[in-house]
Amino acid sequence: MLGRLAPGVALASMAALVLVGCSPGEPTDEEVAAEVRATFEGFYATVDRQFASGTTSARELEAFATAEMATVWAADIQAVLDSGQVSRGVLALTNIELTDVSTDSVSASLCTDGRQIESTDADGRALEPSGLVPWSATFVRDVEGHSLLLDDLQPTTDDSVCGA
């Protein structure tokens, strides 16, 4: 009986080795940076759409951010809209420096360029664009562990990420 099982066990062992060899490993820094970029750009495209439409939706932001962050940002967008300020355009992400990468979260320093964003105050006067801004950002994996969600985004005084 063992003689007949041996070839089956050998085949199963070889198949397991082949599958292990084909399994995706940890993502490279370039892949993680691309994920960070996609999440950040999707988030800000959604923010821009909400400014353009004059309505806010935390639920829409949740495609790219945690529920808590989406709720805070939706309230912030609404406050800006209520003030009469008009803003159009998306921050350009000019640099990403990964500072900590784990299986469930990513911390990064980001640099954005806001010179393409056009904003006016309630009286229609043009507001100065933000220019280059350094940020500290934290991203977490969604519940399925597939996508990165923006969890925290704070401006920082360390502008080395912006080449300064």
What's the CATH code of the domain at 61? 3.10.450.50
Tens digits of per-residue pLDDT, 68-99? 999 999 999 999 999 999 999 889 999 999 99
> pLDDT, tens digit, for every residue of 134-151?
999 999 998 887 899 999
Q: What is the mean pLDDT of the chain?
A: 87
Residue 1 lies in a domain: no
The verdict on residue 11 lying in a domain is no
- For the chain, what is the domain count? 1
pLDDT at 24: 61
Domain span including residue 110: 29-162
Higher-confidence residue: 15 or 100? 100
> Is 61 part of a structural domain of the chain?
yes
Model-level pTM greater than 0.85? no
Taking CB atoms within 8 Å and a gap of at least 24, the contacts of 84-87 are 84/121, 84/122, 84/123, 85/119, 85/120, 85/121, 85/122, 85/127, 86/51, 86/119, 86/120, 87/51, 87/117, 87/118, 87/119, 87/120
